Structure 1
Amino acid sequence: MAAPRELSGIGRAVQGAIYAAGVYGHKPKVPVEPAALYDAARRKMSPQAWSYVAGSAGMQRTDRANTAAFERFPIVPRVLRNVSERSLDVTLFGRDLPAPVLFAPIGVLEMAHKDAEIAVAQAARSLGLPMVLSTQGSVPMERTAAELGTNPMWYQLYWSNNDDLAKSLVQRAEAAGAQAIVVTLDTHLLGWRTKDLDLGYLPFARGEGIAQYLTDPVFQQLVRDKAGPDTQAGRVGRAPKGEAVSGPTTSERPTPAAIRTLLSITRHYPGKLADNLRSPLPRTAVETFLDVFPCPALTWEDLAKLREWTRLPIVLKGIQSVDDARMALDHGVDGMVVSNHGGRQIDGAVASLDALAEIAPAVEGQVPVLFDSGIRSGADIFKALALGAAAVLVGRPWLYGLALDGAAGAEAVMERLLAELDLTMALSGVASIDEITRDCLSS
């Protein structure tokens, strides 16, 4: 396994490599300009995949607010400072990282590229950046962890309404080498996502993005319990002779779409396709997932259970108010992520950067405050750090690169964000991450 590349001076190195290739007429396969990257990925992906990954809640107002917020905090460059040597190094939870940037957890990566988490793990490993694995992954966490090797890995938990299942997922992640547990708090129910609704498309109903569940022993027992006694007796629930197994439960006649859904479900379920087509277990697994996913009854008191399940640092993702940040501190969490889920949950919510500007000072450095939602450039990363973020999680941009060129595309996007961050630091008169403070921005 190759060692991560050196990030010192990455700005000029990446910039120079692109210009050098241009001398021979070669342009970047993955566009550098954010709008061009967005458009290229949209053309590459299916309408269903694009709507799912790029769409947000309602009228998309929170998504727009997230990006617009960065315009309210202009950078104030300082000059005549020695920035000939710069470092992006940071320390989080006692571990040294080459840059304050993580691969954010994104589910159903198979919609963007067939290699899904495996490709992202390769990109993260090449850069030495932490990868946050999603509970809604397309690849079992153990396989992704093996691909990451010694590279930093965190695990993002969607806390289901079955505590035994949540505990199993957390303990599997710890056994696989996760270094932190990131609990997403803002998605105990799915938001009103109009683009997905207009297509009638939910990937989980097709067996996509539920690999962590399908490989979990607690979940598999829930599936067998739901399927009935025949499966418990070891007969894998084969349909009686002459009785066909249709697609999703419905009173309508099978349609081509229903048949495609059935095939998707059976392909994703462990085992042989022929056996799965005659078994109720694949469809029951999807039904079981849809039953156990929502958890609107989760409260602050439940965090005590998580402390019993794991020794890892606990990071709460989805903090958007100062009061909740203080509650998190009162409950002894190890860190928090200021996030509104990229605008995917509530239409018209507070912009994530505006929330960060209030929350970070209130936390007063008691625990690391991380940030996501709206980052599209290295300058955006700089601004988030200046407003008090200890590190940022980047999501959609690298996913667009993944869709365009697999692991190489995801790596290229993140590499360029680091390059722009490095150059923004140099041009702003700072040489290290800890020098990026509120004073770097206009009041």
Structure 2
Amino acid sequence: MSDLEDLLGPGAFGYFAGGAGDEITLRDNTAAWSRYRLAPRVLVDVTERDLGTTLLGRHRTHPIAVAPMAYQRHAHTGGERALAEAARAAEALFVLSSQTTTSLPEVADALGESDRWFQLYVFKDRQVSLDLVVQARESGYEALVLTVDFPVGGWRERDRRTGFHVTYPLALNPSGTALTTRQLHDMHDPSLTWDDIGEFAAAAGMPVILKGILRPDDAERAVDAGAAGIIVSNHGGRQLDTTAAAVDALVPIVDAVGGGLDLLVDGGITRGWDVAKALALGADAVLVGRHVLWGLARGGAEGAEAVLRQLVAEFDTTLALLGCPRAADLDASYVLR
């Protein structure tokens, strides 16, 4: 048993660490970043470095964001509030999951004036989803991240083995009745289509980012649908096993729609040089999930903050060693495929 499994218990650890099926995509998400090699320039003045990026027309201190992750109080009693405090301290954009075990206003309070987006699942009872959108808007969330790769839950064998239950109250289920992940997955609306995007955009009154795009033609449809951005993502390898690794899916999507909207990527990003590769390949920002969550599990807000600060420091060092002092100037010339 790993130290994290011992700390969290087999149910929570299996939920956070696991993927779908044989977990091939879960593993390949991380391995794929190593298949892309960096090509540094030398004799460049890198005394001053600018890590900033632009998302939704706003300058961000650096391109590292906290991915939406469910049920965070199962990782640490501080839950989403503690992770929000870590994001605030590290100046990282925080994306809150609609499967949060902390209320939207409480997380917003922990973030203060820091950047925040809200991730939404669309449930069969659409009023539940729409009510969460209203809460997000009233709590100062800047954008709505609509997850589009979850018509049904993936085949997650770890959860089936452990019978993991959500024991904390959820924003969508404030009564606190314990639910298995399969019961929660059954709440998702499998009838969601492109025709429904406008309804949620109108309800949100804020920019909409579509999370879970893996195909160039779907990325092009996102542009046509008026999305402000997309997140290239296979849901951390947790939905359909043997889908493309996130970075491998990113490249053709950039070729199809690069510059047409904001592009973010998540899945398997564990080091600052992965961040540099993502931006060089055409992403505007990255989202990091499990590694930040492990920091939360081990050390609460301070542990998560330490992980984020290390990622930022690694990215800064990578820019210097690449001979590219401005993150905005990263392009495909810095990466060998």
More helix by share: 1
Q: Please state if 1:91 is matched with 2:54.
A: yes
Partner of 1:320: 214
Where 1:362 maps in the other structure, the secondary structure is helix
Q: Please state if 1:70 is matched with 2:66.
A: no
Partner of 1:212: 171
More strand by share: 2
Partner of 1:103: 66
Query: What is the letter of the counterpart of residue 211 of structure 1?
Result: L
CA distance in 2, matches of 1:347, 1:341: 10
Q: Describe the shift of the 1:77–1:42 C-alpha distance in structure 2 as closer, same or farther (beyond 3 A).
A: farther
Residue-by-residue CA offset, 1:281-336 (whole Å, 9 max, x unaligned): x47x989x748622111000001101220221100000000111011111111100
Q: Please state if 1:394 is matched with 2:301.
A: no
Contact 1:117 1:144 in 2 (8 A): yes
Structure 1 runs, 4 residues or longer, greater than 6 Å off:
none
Q: Describe the shift of the 1:381–1:322 C-alpha distance in structure 2 as closer, same or farther (beyond 3 A).
A: same
Query: What is the letter of the counterpart of residue 183 of structure 1?
Result: L
Q: Describe the shift of the 1:162–1:334 C-alpha distance in structure 2 as closer, same or farther (beyond 3 A).
A: same
Unaligned runs of 5+ in 2: none
CA distance in 2, matches of 1:392, 1:56: 20
Q: 5 Å matches for 1:253-272? A: 269=176
CA distance in 1, matches of 2:23, 2:244: 13
TM-score by length of 1: 0.73
Partner of 2:327: 433
Residue-by-residue CA offset, 1:188-228 (whole Å, 9 max, x unaligned): 21111111111122x33xx43x521134xxxxxxxxxxxxx
Q: 5 Å matches for 1:261-340? A: 269=176, 282=177, 290=184, 293-340=187-234
CA distance in 1, matches of 2:333, 2:170: 45
CA shift, 1:401, in A, is 0.5
Query: What is the letter of the counterpart of residue 172 of structure 2?
Result: Y
CA distance in 2, matches of 1:344, 1:291: 12
Residue-by-residue CA offset, 1:95-128 (whole Å, 9 max, x unaligned): 2211011111100111110010111111011112
Unaligned runs of 5+ in 1: 1-37, 216-267, 270-281
CA shift, 1:138, in A, is 0.9
Partner of 1:365: 259
CA distance in 2, matches of 1:326, 1:156: 21
CA shift, 1:89, in A, is 1.3
Contact 1:62 1:348 in 2 (8 A): yes
Query: What is the letter of the counterpart of residue 157 of structure 1?
Result: L
Residue-by-residue CA offset, 1:404-430 (whole Å, 9 max, x unaligned): 000000000010011111101100100
Aligned match for 2:81, one of 94, 98, 118 = 118
Q: Report which of the two structures shows the higher radius of gyration computed on alpha carbons.
A: 1
Query: What is the letter of the counterpart of residue 170 of structure 2?
Result: A
Aligned match for 1:378, one of 272, 276, 290 = 272
Where 1:80 maps in the other structure, the secondary structure is coil
Q: Describe the shift of the 1:121–1:341 C-alpha distance in structure 2 as closer, same or farther (beyond 3 A).
A: same
Over aligned residues, Cα RMSD in angstroms? 2.0
Residue-by-residue CA offset, 1:141-161 (whole Å, 9 max, x unaligned): 111111111111100001111
Partner of 1:4: none
CA distance in 2, matches of 1:439, 1:94: 25
Partner of 1:148: 111
CA distance in 2, matches of 1:325, 1:149: 33
TM-score by length of 2: 0.95
Contact 1:41 1:401 in 2 (8 A): no
Q: Describe the shift of the 1:40–1:291 C-alpha distance in structure 2 as closer, same or farther (beyond 3 A).
A: closer
Q: Describe the shift of the 1:40–1:438 C-alpha distance in structure 2 as closer, same or farther (beyond 3 A).
A: farther
Contact 1:181 1:312 in 2 (8 A): yes
CA distance in 1, matches of 2:148, 2:126: 15
Query: What is the letter of the counterpart of residue 313 of structure 1?
Result: P
Contact 2:163 2:180 in 1 (8 A): no
Where 1:188 maps in the other structure, the secondary structure is coil
CA shift, 1:40, in A, is 4.5
Query: What is the letter of the counterpart of residue 388 of structure 1?
Result: G
Query: What is the letter of the counterpart of residue 218 of structure 2?
Result: D
Q: Describe the shift of the 1:428–1:39 C-alpha distance in structure 2 as closer, same or farther (beyond 3 A).
A: farther
Query: What is the letter of the counterpart of residue 68 of structure 2?
Result: P
Partner of 1:354: 248
CA distance in 1, matches of 2:43, 2:180: 61
